Chains A and B, each alone.
Chain A
Amino acid sequence: MKNIFKIVFVALLASTYGCKKFLDVNENQDSVRAVGMNLQLPGAQASMAVTFGGSFHNLGSFWAQYSTQSPDAGQYEDMDSYRVTTDEFDREWSEVYTGALENLRNIKEEANATGATNYALVATLCESYTFQMLADLYNEIPYSEALAGAANTTPKFDNGADIYPAIISKIDEAIAAYEANPSTNDLSTADIIFAGDMDQWIRFANTLKLKMYMRQSYTSSPKGAEINALLTEDNFLTADASMSSFGSGEGQRNPYYEIQVDRLGDVNNRASNTMIKFLRDSLPVDDRLDVLYMAGGSAHQAKEQGDFANRDISSDDLSIPYYEATTPVYFITMTELHFLKAEAMVRYAAGAGAQAEYEAGIDASFAMHGLSTSSSFYGAGNKYAYNATGDVETDIAQIMMQKWVAMCNSQNLEAFFEVNRTQQPPLSTNAQGTPGNIGERTLSYASVLSGTATPRRLSVPDVEVVRNSNAPSQPANGLATKVWWDQK
């Protein structure tokens, strides 16, 4: 017996020697401490797609007047009445910083450390696009001090006007680094936007820069020289930058479809008469009407913006913005590129080549929806025929109207920015409660903003403000306060 006891005792003593090893079980079995960049990139890009193609896309749908709140539901009355609460986009803010930007930052760090210049460039461009969109939406966002982790949990806010040049110089650096030493790490499955086509990414960089320069066209320092340099180089996108690998099952679908159509049963968004009138009421009817909207009854019917208190038409009879589970989320489209170029040519190249780009933009828009009848609309004498007057604002008005139509259901948030920048389509001067004319935006019937003010930005969400002492105080005019480039 004594021997047994001794053996047990010695065994236990021995086990305590192995204590450190025994306790070393704090390695999470469901997750890993390190993963390859190729496995991080798809999630980061999908996070961009879900954020900009989901909730923000939906916001843009109301604020660019593609859709309005159905009278028989009420999920988005706040958007249509311009009183979005400061916690409305908490989720999206969290997702885009911790899902997209944080992972892109990790990829960049690892890519820089290992000389994977292609990964570094793709991550930089994705990050640049994301920061640019956020800066345009909020005007002030954490940028230079953001994503420092536990080292800085209250990063300072930077103004969009400072963020733009910083983004552009980072893009240039990343391109230079890639071109000096182009690495060939496999990106084919990791990059769900261009499948690792680096030429296309460089074109994406140029297109993004063109967009950002054009955004500054009404500021005191427009970027004509830079734009002309880009036009001269003419190395822009040759295909849409989009995420299109959606499936049909839950959790796999286009985010707008997932939320609005499948989860909420498509009961909220109904066609805004602003767009329906434009497509339908000046004959001939635009062929895109039937692909952008699903008619509730035998004909398309829509409500004036924000007129949800009026129940004269049942929501079942109103047209609904049309999406499928596999509809791509678009970051930058060919149609957008053509209109950007057309506008740039009008502004900075005396209009040379503008008409061709204008028409290519309409072609691309029709093509996106599988239509090929675009030329019958912009052909001479037809309703979208380009009429070069030589007057910059008049010519640009034609381009921006078509750009606004082309972005419907595909780039709603971008459309909201461009509407604000150029004030095209113009806001109707009719009193609140009276429909705008064809080709005009209607002042939302439900607007709570004073006078004819419309939303120009979002307030930084509560989720950030309450935890970051560096968050700016809300602007006096709230949503109606313009962002830095919004000066027309």
Chain B
Amino acid sequence: MNSQLFRSLGICCMLIFSVIANAQSRSITGTVVDQKSQPVIGAVIKEKGTGNAAIAGIDGTFSITIASASPTLVVSFVGMENKEVVVGASNSIYITLSASDESLNEVVVTAQNIKRNSRSLGYSVASVNSVDIVEGGTRSAVNGLQGKIAGVQISAASSDPGASTRIFIRGIHSLSQGTQPLIVVDGVPISNASTNSSSLNGGFDFGNGLNTINPNDIASMDVLKSAAATALYGSRGANGVIMITTKSGSGASAKKGLGIEYNGSATFSNVLRLPEFQNEFGQGWDGNHWLDENGSWGPKFDGRDRVYGRVVDNAQLLAPYSPLENNVKEFFERGKSINNSIGVSGANETSSFYASYSNVKQDGIYPGQVDINDRNTITLKAQTKIDKLTVSGGVNIAMTDGTFVPTGQGQSGTYNNTMQLPRNMSVVDMQDYNAPFYNVEDYFTGYGVTNPYFILNENGNSYKGRKIYGNLQTSYDIKDNLKVLYRFGYDMNDNNIHNHRAILLPQGPNGGSIDDPGFVSEQSSGSQEFNNDVMLTWNKKINSLIKLDLTGGMNINGRSNNSLFASVSTLDIPGFYNIQNSPSQPVISESNASRRQVNFYGLANLDYKNTAFLNVSLRRDQSSTLPSESNAYYYPSANVSYVLSEGLNLPKAISFAKVRFGYGVTANDAPSYAFDRYYSQSVIDMPFRSMNFPVGGVNSFSINSNLANPDLKVEYNREWEFGLDLKALDNRASLDLTLYSRVTDDMILFKAVAPSAGGTNQISNFADILNKGVEIVASYKVLRKEDGLNWDIFGNFSKNLNEVRGLSEDFNLGGLSTTSFTARNGQPIGVFEGSVPETSPSGQVVVDADGVPVASTQKEEYGNSQIGYMLGIGSKLKYKAFRLNFLFDARQGGLMFSRTADINHFTGNSIKTAYNDRKPFVVPNSVRKIDQGDGTFTYEENTIAVDPAHMDDYHRAEAFDRNNVISKSFVKLRELALTYTIPASSIEKMPFSGMSFSIIGRNLLLWTPVENQYVDPEATTFGNGINAEFGEFSANPTTRSYGFALRFTL
């Protein structure tokens, strides 16, 4: 076995460096596609009457060596009709397979990596194949799913190179115990943790586990949405599961097949959305042309020459007082991404292997090497079968290196500093940040803002991420119908983050605007997960009608993570960014956590005449994070599926119909160390800061302020779903309808308690979340002509409603002091609340002595962050060798906070602030509030107009905080790809067996409601959980990307 494995790997290595020597017999190349013109990856091509065979690879291409002059090829794939094709003299062939009569016999990967026929399942599984994932040229596989799956909200945190992606499957089910789905690669869970910071003073996002995977390694992704589908993952299945199957060398029956596959792309990016700026008023404040203001509240542009900036050596800059409409846009450059991936696979009767290497080099839209991301991945997989024993294994290594332009305010947020340029000031002129007028001493404003180029080039951060994961699996056929499998899986992550800010102590007469003694931090963190699985499967044909499958398994899981952080905030030597470069004691923190589980599960599938199916399962989890006397929980599930078109006489137009019903229970496990009280190093809380021990050479420990809870339980999810699958008009139309309802109860929350009890909170099980919704997936083959025009349209719609119940007090999800973001009883998750104008008893707006509305002392609800519905609509057009695909992705409803909006209201740069040409106006329906001196007030009609000197006070009034909370609805042209597949006949003299060339684009167009003139609503700077739904705090602008891709196989 070992020798064969090594031989396979050896072949693989040889092939990477040499071109295959051709065999003596004739070789035929071809492509296998389905009726949707999608390649049939893994289709088996055999030469009838011989042992010659091949497997269709990526793009459905294959190459087979044939013995006879006019052979017959038998092409087969599970769920498809076998097809026999007689090959003439041509050396290339194009084969279309149609779905077998038993339509929807699609094989999907279900929980615990069990492959099932989707027909037999009582729940929906969304399956996406490799072409659909990579077609848009995304570096992150999961981004390739955006808009393609009903009920799954996938949002890239930003377009910053390497940034992470958050996924909510059928809404948000937990307020504190994680919201992201479990990611399983080839049967083994991997960490999808994100390396990010939501700091308002310099946030960053270096990505998450999912986007270290090379999309070209993926054969398919199956999204398990409902609890019925994920109950076999018990306490890890609460947020859904994404099952990723990577490519392997071959199918089992292949005799021979060896190939090299290359995927490459080069894409460029530019800013998708900048705020809409006004171009009528320039630098100043209160209507005056003040030269040190970081805003455009000055007089109207008149085009006359005026001095600006500080006086340096008795000189001052001079320029016409006119708008520079593209001053911010010009700051950014064109981003680039080069993507290369090469895969080699091979197989013989008993063994197969797959090996790949990929490299992604990205440089984002900020000038310079400040937002780069460089990812290298290596994958090796091999499998061999000896008699009744099958051994397989795989290892994946991902190495990511990056830099990130921090978001947020202060001297870290480059974008935020750029937003504070008056409309008449050029940013590109400031590129030399050591030059007079533009250096940090002489920078024009003294309001805590400095030259963005200084920040960009002198402050920085860098990241090194290393991920290694893999599995080793053996299975043994004890009998024909009894099989045992053992699998070991491991995932290891090692991350290092470095951050620094330059010493910024401006001297000189102008004195600069920011003092910063410098800062360095180093963080190293890691995580490990192992899984041991044993699974026994047995199947039996009870009689001619009934089949029974039984599976039993055991899983032992361990997870741990650790982190060490050190920072110093005063530096001695300029430009030397090392923890030792400081007179002050470093702030150090350490964290370690581990958790383990021992789990058992069983499942039974009953098949009646391939028409009615019953599946039941039960899982028992025992977890280290729960009190030992009550740490075991059971997760049952059951689902039924009935193929109506088999059992009933349906109208002819309906070619397939199935109803399904599923119910399941899953849970979110409790966090580590939550049910007991602990002491940790003393940190004394104070406003804005804390006192951190040791102090004065004395160390101290204080009792944790969580009162703990010995009765802690897991938080349960119970979900049912009902669905209908229909195919009609000779399979040309399909419809998949799902209704679901899920209750999360016994939710684990840190319940706030009165501090006088001796703690500030107690972890408890209380409150429920209700999620219910509908998902509709439909497609229609508008035109279908072999060798002619083929046109498919498809779409998916989903709507999820959620509500929090049983909360006695608002639960804080994040937010800011001005705008809160909470879970509130009886409301959807993520309620926004903030200041509103004070009104008189008769509902008129109260204004102050300047005529500006006054904020009410009582904050009010603005609405919530929940999306109303999601819609994806796409089209696939194929004509001969050309394919044109596009996809629109839309979301409607929900609010978000935008700090970008806020700063543009503040600076008077937003087009909104040019309201009424900044001419004086009286706030309509406003009153003055008159204090009667005895605690009572009277109201009289307001006649005071807001004058130009108070226009800024009006537009940035606290009473109008609501203006910074905007709709996050959008429609995006998510993907566009035009592909030309070179006909096999054209390349027969070349060493290629298939080749295609594409022009690709992602996020090309964005439409938003009028009230959002500021940001891409998908952007966030608040991480990957619920708080990400709060919005953005000066997020870097998102981008559109476009370019080309080349794929070929040898």
Task: Enumerate chain A residues within 8 angstroms of B729, measured Cβ to Cβ.
Answer: none
Q: Is the CB of A24 within 8 A of B756?
A: no
Does B534 have its Cβ within 8 Å of any Cβ on chain A?
yes
Does B628 have its Cβ within 8 Å of any Cβ on chain A?
yes
Task: Enumerate chain B residues within 8 angstroms of A463, measured Cβ to Cβ.
Answer: 752, 754-755, 760
- Bound complex: CA of A33 vs CA of B703, how far in Å? 9
Shortest Cβ distance from residue B764 to the other chain A in the assembled complex, whole angstroms: 10
Q: Is the CB of B696 within 8 A of A246?
A: yes
Nearest residue, chain B, Cβ from A27: B673
Interchain CB contact (< 8 A) of B702 among A40, A155, A251, A467? A40
Task: Enumerate chain A residues within 8 angstroms of B680, measured Cβ to Cβ.
Answer: 30-32
Nearest residue, chain A, Cβ from B762: A150
List A residues 242-282 near B (Cβ within 8 Å): 245-252, 255, 258-259, 262-264
Interchain CB contact (< 8 A) of B622 among A19, A30, A258? A19
Does A468 have its Cβ within 8 Å of any Cβ on chain B?
yes
Task: Enumerate chain A residues within 8 angstroms of B595, measured Cβ to Cβ.
Answer: 25-26
Q: Is the CB of A91 within 8 A of B686?
A: yes
Q: Is the CB of B701 within 8 A of A55?
A: no
List B residues 527-562 near A (Cβ within 8 Å): 532, 534, 554, 556
Q: Is the CB of A150 within 8 A of B707?
A: yes
Q: Is the CB of B587 within 8 A of A25?
A: no
Interchain CB contact (< 8 A) of B591 among A8, A30, A98, A155? A30
List A residues 82-138 near B (Cβ within 8 Å): 91, 93-95, 97-99, 101-103, 105-106
With contacts A5-B484, A249-B584 taken as known, whether A50 is within 8 angstroms of B691 at the C-beta atoms is yes
Interchain CB contact (< 8 A) of A99 among B590, B672, B685? B685
Per the CB 8 Å criterion, the residue count for chain A at the interface is: 81
Does B688 have its Cβ within 8 Å of any Cβ on chain A?
yes
- Bound complex: CA of A467 vs CA of B675, how far in Å? 21
Task: Enumerate chain A residues within 8 angstroms of B585, measured Cβ to Cβ.
Answer: 247, 249, 252
Does A232 have its Cβ within 8 Å of any Cβ on chain B?
no
Does B508 have its Cβ within 8 Å of any Cβ on chain A?
no
Q: Is the CB of A155 within 8 A of B754?
A: yes
Shortest Cβ distance from residue A153 to the other chain B in the assembled complex, whole angstroms: 4
- Bound complex: CA of A468 vs CA of B757, how far in Å? 9
Does B623 have its Cβ within 8 Å of any Cβ on chain A?
yes
Q: Is the CB of A192 within 8 A of B696?
A: yes
Q: Is the CB of B696 within 8 A of A259?
A: no
Q: Is the CB of A250 within 8 A of B598?
A: no
Task: Enumerate chain B residues within 8 angstroms of A97, measured Cβ to Cβ.
Answer: 755-758
Q: Is the CB of A31 within 8 A of B678?
A: yes
Shortest Cβ distance from residue A135 to the other chain B in the assembled complex, whole angstroms: 13
Nearest residue, chain B, Cβ from A36: B701
List A residues 15-35 near B (Cβ within 8 Å): 15-16, 19-20, 22-35
Q: Is the CB of B679 within 8 A of A33?
A: yes
Q: Is the CB of A41 within 8 A of B700?
A: yes
List B residues 634-648 near A (Cβ within 8 Å): none
Interchain CB contact (< 8 A) of A251 among B587, B598, B678? B587
Q: Is the CB of A153 within 8 A of B757?
A: yes
Q: Is the CB of B624 within 8 A of A26?
A: yes
Does B318 have its Cβ within 8 Å of any Cβ on chain A?
no
Task: Enumerate chain A residues within 8 angstroms of B708, measured Cβ to Cβ.
Answer: 150
Task: Enumerate chain B residues within 8 angstroms of A12, measured Cβ to Cβ.
Answer: 532, 534, 554
Does B782 have its Cβ within 8 Å of any Cβ on chain A?
no
Q: Is the CB of B756 within 8 A of A44?
A: no
Task: Enumerate chain A residues within 8 angstroms of B598, measured Cβ to Cβ.
Answer: 16, 19, 22-23
Task: Enumerate chain B residues within 8 angstroms of A55, measured Cβ to Cβ.
Answer: 686-687
Q: Is the CB of A101 within 8 A of B685?
A: no
Does A283 have its Cβ within 8 Å of any Cβ on chain B?
no
Q: Is the CB of A467 within 8 A of B809?
A: yes
Q: Is the CB of B757 within 8 A of A146?
A: yes
With contacts A97-B755, A146-B757 taken as known, whether A102 is within 8 angstroms of B596 at the C-beta atoms is no
Does B389 have its Cβ within 8 Å of any Cβ on chain A?
yes
Q: Is the CB of A43 within 8 A of B688?
A: no
Does A466 have its Cβ within 8 Å of any Cβ on chain B?
yes
Shortest Cβ distance from residue A63 to the other chain B in the assembled complex, whole angstroms: 17
Q: Is the CB of A259 within 8 A of B693?
A: no
Q: Is the CB of B486 within 8 A of A8?
A: yes
Does B10 have its Cβ within 8 Å of any Cβ on chain A?
no
Interchain CB contact (< 8 A) of B758 among A141, A146, A264? A146
Does B935 have its Cβ within 8 Å of any Cβ on chain A?
yes
Nearest residue, chain A, Cβ from B753: A153
- Bound complex: CA of A29 vs CA of B622, how far in Å? 21
- Bound complex: CA of A258 vs CA of B700, how far in Å? 20
Q: Is the CB of B594 within 8 A of A142?
A: no
Interface string of B694-737 (1 = CB under 8 A from A): 01111111111101110000000000000000000000000000
Interface string of B594-610 (1 = CB under 8 A from A): 11111000000000000
Q: Is the CB of A42 within 8 A of B698?
A: yes
Shortest Cβ distance from residue B671 to the other chain A in the assembled complex, whole angstroms: 10
Task: Enumerate chain B residues within 8 angstroms of A47, measured Cβ to Cβ.
Answer: 682, 684, 702
Interchain CB contact (< 8 A) of B695 among A24, A106, A246? A246
Shortest Cβ distance from residue A251 to the other chain B in the assembled complex, whole angstroms: 4
Does A370 have its Cβ within 8 Å of any Cβ on chain B?
no
Shortest Cβ distance from residue A252 to the other chain B in the assembled complex, whole angstroms: 6
Shortest Cβ distance from residue B353 to the other chain A in the assembled complex, whole angstroms: 22
Shortest Cβ distance from residue B408 to the other chain A in the assembled complex, whole angstroms: 17
Does B942 have its Cβ within 8 Å of any Cβ on chain A?
no
Does A389 have its Cβ within 8 Å of any Cβ on chain B?
no
- Bound complex: CA of A27 vs CA of B597, how far in Å? 15
Does B16 have its Cβ within 8 Å of any Cβ on chain A?
no
Does B481 have its Cβ within 8 Å of any Cβ on chain A?
no
Interchain CB contact (< 8 A) of A148 among B476, B570, B689, B757? B757
Most interface-central of B387, B685, B692, B757 (chain A CB within 10 A): B757
Nearest residue, chain A, Cβ from B710: A150
With contacts A23-B622, A30-B592, A255-B691 taken as known, whether A247 is within 8 angstroms of B696 at the C-beta atoms is yes
- Bound complex: CA of A105 vs CA of B312, how far in Å? 63
Does A147 have its Cβ within 8 Å of any Cβ on chain B?
yes
- Bound complex: CA of A154 vs CA of B754, how far in Å? 7
Q: Is the CB of B707 within 8 A of A16?
A: no
Task: Enumerate chain A residues within 8 angstroms of B26, measured Cβ to Cβ.
Answer: none
- Bound complex: CA of A101 vs CA of B684, how far in Å? 13
- Bound complex: CA of A224 vs CA of B755, how far in Å? 36
Q: Is the CB of A42 within 8 A of B759?
A: no
Does B407 have its Cβ within 8 Å of any Cβ on chain A?
no
Shortest Cβ distance from residue B758 to the other chain A in the assembled complex, whole angstroms: 4
- Bound complex: CA of A189 vs CA of B388, how far in Å? 70
Q: Is the CB of B686 within 8 A of A149?
A: no
Task: Enumerate chain B residues within 8 angstroms of A27, measured Cβ to Cβ.
Answer: 673
With contacts A12-B532, A19-B622, A25-B595 taken as known, whether A46 is within 8 angstroms of B753 at the C-beta atoms is no
Does B278 have its Cβ within 8 Å of any Cβ on chain A?
no
Task: Enumerate chain A residues within 8 angstroms of B556, measured Cβ to Cβ.
Answer: 15, 22
Does A317 have its Cβ within 8 Å of any Cβ on chain B?
no
Interchain CB contact (< 8 A) of B691 among A20, A146, A251? A251
Task: Enumerate chain A residues within 8 angstroms of B180, measured Cβ to Cβ.
Answer: none
Q: Is the CB of A155 within 8 A of B757?
A: yes
Does B690 have its Cβ within 8 Å of any Cβ on chain A?
yes
Task: Enumerate chain B residues within 8 angstroms of A101, measured Cβ to Cβ.
Answer: 758
With contacts A33-B679, A91-B686, A258-B689 taken as known, whether A26 is within 8 angstroms of B758 at the C-beta atoms is no
Does A1 have its Cβ within 8 Å of any Cβ on chain B?
yes
- Bound complex: CA of A451 vs CA of B493, how far in Å? 66
Q: Is the CB of B584 within 8 A of A248?
A: yes
Q: Is the CB of A141 within 8 A of B756?
A: yes
Subset of 11 A-B contacts with CB under 8 Å? A25-B596, A42-B682, A94-B760, A95-B685, A98-B758, A149-B759, A245-B695, A250-B569, A252-B695, A463-B752, A464-B754
Give A residues with C-beta under 8 Å from B.
1, 5, 8-9, 12, 15-16, 19-20, 22-35, 39-44, 46-47, 50, 54-55, 91, 93-95, 97-99, 101-103, 105-106, 141-142, 146-150, 152-155, 189-190, 192, 245-252, 255, 258-259, 262-264, 450, 463-464, 466-468, 471
In the A-B complex, list the 4 residue pairs whose CB atoms are closest, starting with the nearest.
Answer: A245-B696, A43-B682, A43-B700, A142-B756
Known A-B contacts: A41-B700, A50-B684, A152-B757. Give 5 more (CB < 8 A). Answer: A12-B534, A32-B701, A43-B682, A93-B755, A97-B756
